[in-house]
Structures are given as C-alpha cells and as structure tokens.
C-alpha cells in the first residue's frame, strides 16, 4: 500500500501505440498524454526522461521530439491495480424503486462510481449492496448480465483500454459535490431506453444553483466546451468546433442582492456544463473552488461581510451550491411520464436563507 494515499502499490504496465496516418507532427509528451488513460504531462515527461518510452525500438531522445505517422511507441507506465467494486452498506435516499429502475437523491461528497483515488464509498458501492449483488470487476463484467447483478450491465464495462472501473446501472452522472436526483437502470432494457432519452434530449432536468451576482431574469448560454489546455481537470469555453457544443437556459428564482438562486435547464449534458456556463457569464456558482466561486465576487470583501461569507463557505463543506432538483422521463416499460423532485439539501438551504435575511435588498 502506498503510504501517501489509500491506493494500493502500482503495477508495471506496457502500452503499445502506432501513430495513425494523417497525424500532424506533435510533441511526444503531448501525444502520449492525450492517448494514455489517466496520464498527465508531468508523468509522461518523467517516463521519457527515465528511459521508459521507446519509438521504433529506440529510446525517446527528449520530451519534445515529434511523432510521425507510422511510428511505433512502446511506453512502460506504473498504474494502480484494477478496481474491484465491493458492495458497501451505505444509506441511500431512495425516491422511487421498482423492478426496472430506481431513483435516488445523491448527497454531497459521494462519488458516483469508483475510480483511482476513490475505490470505496461511492454510489455504485451502495447500489450493489442495496440490490444484494456481489463484488464486480472489469474482467468479470462481460460474462455477467443484469439478472446476476440486479443492475444493468449492458454498458457497464470499461469504455477504453486501461479504464479502471465498471459502472453497473449508470445512465448519467452528477459531480461528487453536486446533490440531487439520479435515475439508475436495473435492467439492460431500461438502460437502453433511458440512454436514448438522454441522447435525444427528452429527459427533463432542472437544477437549482446559488450564483454570485444577479443575472438577467431569463437567459440562454450556448457554445463549445472542452478540456482546458491549461488544466486537464477543468472544462473551458472553446473556439467554435473545438470540443462539444452545449446549451443551457436559466431563470432567476430569487434575487438575494449580491447573489441569486437560479434555476438551470440543461439542453445538453456536458461535464461541468452549468458550472462553466455560469462562470462564462460572470456569475460563478457560489462555493465552486474549480470555477472561481469560492471567493467574494460581488460586494465588499472586508470586515464583517468577509467573515459572514467565510461562514457560509464553511457551512457548505466546502462545495459548490448546485443541486439537481428535478428529473423527468418516460418509464422504460410502462410508458408513464414520471417526474421526481428532491428538496434543497440542508446545507444549501441554510446558506440561501442566511443570504436572504442578511443580503437581500442591499
């Protein structure tokens, strides 16, 4: 076990790649970072400098050497061992359940599925226990069906070579620190039906967010979103045609003076979409460490007000004040229109009420 984390000791893995025809010249460190799962540029550069990367049978000479179409690259990397998902007795807030699906109200701080750095305590760990399933791993999922597990396994397997985890039942996700309604498929038929509804954008999704400042009463944000070139863990607004197109509509629910409670509706479902769109119009989500909402953006940043805001940040945990409040869809087997709502979580409701009493009307 690595003493600096809860991760098991890494194992040596060899990755072999062939640069495809038409690939424009690009630095080998950038190419490998883009093509290798869970890689960072720093780790790739370290591997090159330590002699663990070969190009056409010879050691890579430097991190900036360009790769060419037809180059054969062999890279030895150190990776954590595969993840086995173990059922865990974690309480779930279940809003609805039948033989086909279940709907849960996900709490803040819960990761949806296991990954490196989060091997336990996830929604999937809790769901496996809830349906009475045994442990699962990527090697087993191809020989396992939904009747064996109690959750859909049709699209649960690794999505790419080196993908460390499986995702039984998942048809969509919420960020770790975003709360609210999620639907989970128990059968492969339900997963396919719900997946199509998400793809066709017929799912009815509404979020409530506390944002800095007060936007126009109603509005729409659209454009291209993709991984930030400066920080691969972040998403940013990109030039046209780069990344994926995304659109979000919003309306102000409550004007709180220097903040506002806003209802967002997703037209698309991109990673961090609401958080990035809110930031892009100058109204980052309150408490959002990643996108600039964890500081005072509007109003005085000194004296008693500074202390007041600090207390609100502390009450949130810290996390972004974003909640998936409603979810609607057509039931995969009955055809019934179903809608579910989760009230604001206690921490977010408390912060909103404090702002309403102290700041509204300023």
Positions marked active-site = 175
Q: Of 140, 29, 119, whose CA–CA distance to 75 is shortest?
A: 29
- The first and second tokens of residue 259, run together, are 């903040």
Cα 259 to Cα 313: distance, rounded to the nearest angstrom: 13
Interacting residues of 31 by C-beta distance below 8 A, sequence separation 6+: 19, 67, 73
Asked if 15 and 72 count as a contact pair (C-beta separation under 8 A), the reply is no
The number of beta carbons lying within 10 Å of the beta carbon of residue 240 is: 8
Interacting residues of 73 by C-beta distance below 8 A, sequence separation 6+: 15, 16, 17, 18, 19, 28, 31, 32, 53, 54, 55, 67
Cα 312 to Cα 290: distance, rounded to the nearest angstrom: 17
Alpha carbon of residue 326 to chain centroid: 18
Asked if 255 and 355 count as a contact pair (C-beta separation under 8 A), the reply is no
């Amino acid at each position: 076990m690595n003493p600096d984390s809860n991760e098991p000791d890494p194992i040596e893995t060899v990755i072999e790649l062939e640069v495809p025809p038409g690939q424009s010249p690009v630095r080998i460190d950038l190419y490998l970072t883009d093509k290798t799962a869970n890689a960072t540029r720093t780790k790739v550069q370290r591997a090159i400098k330590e002699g663990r990367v070969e190009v056409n049978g010879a050691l890579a000479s430097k991190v900036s050497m360009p790769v060419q179409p037809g180059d054969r690259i062999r890279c030895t990397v150190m990776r954590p061992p595969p993840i086995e998902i173990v059922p865990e007795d974690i309480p779930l807030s279940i809003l609805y359940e039948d033989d086909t699906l279940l709907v849960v109200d996900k709490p803040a701080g819960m990761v949806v599925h296991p990954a490196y750095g989060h091997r336990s305590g996830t929604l999937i760990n809790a769901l496996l226990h809830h349906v009475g399933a045994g442990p699962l791993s990527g090697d087993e999922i191809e020989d396992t069906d939904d009747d064996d597990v109690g959750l859909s396994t049709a699209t649960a397997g690794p999505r790419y070579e080196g993908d460390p985890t499986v995702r039984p039942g998942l048809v969509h996700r919420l960020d770790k620190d975003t709360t609210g309604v999620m639907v989970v498929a128990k059968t492969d038929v339900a997963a396919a039906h719900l997946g199509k509804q998400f793809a066709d954008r017929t799912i009815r999704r509404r979020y409530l967010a506390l944002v800095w400042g007060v936007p126009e009463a109603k509005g729409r944000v659209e454009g291209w979103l993709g991984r930030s070139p400066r920080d691969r863990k972040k998403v940013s607004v990109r030039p046209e045609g780069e990344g994926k197109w995304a659109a979000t509509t919003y309306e102000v629910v409550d004007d709180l003076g220097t903040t506002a409670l806003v209802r967002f509706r997703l037209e698309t479902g991109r990673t961090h979409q609401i958080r990035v769109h809110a930031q892009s119009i100058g109204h980052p989500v309150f408490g959002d460490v990643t996108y600039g909402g964890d500081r005072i953006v509007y109003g005085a940043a000194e004296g008693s007000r500074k202390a007041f805001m600090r207390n609100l940040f502390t009450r949130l945990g810290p996390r972004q004040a974003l909640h998936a409040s409603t979810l609607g869809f057509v039931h995969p087997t009955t055809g019934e229109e179903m809608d579910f709502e989760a009230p604001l979580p206690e921490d977010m409701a408390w912060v909103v009420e404090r702002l309403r009493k102290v700041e509204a009307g300023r």
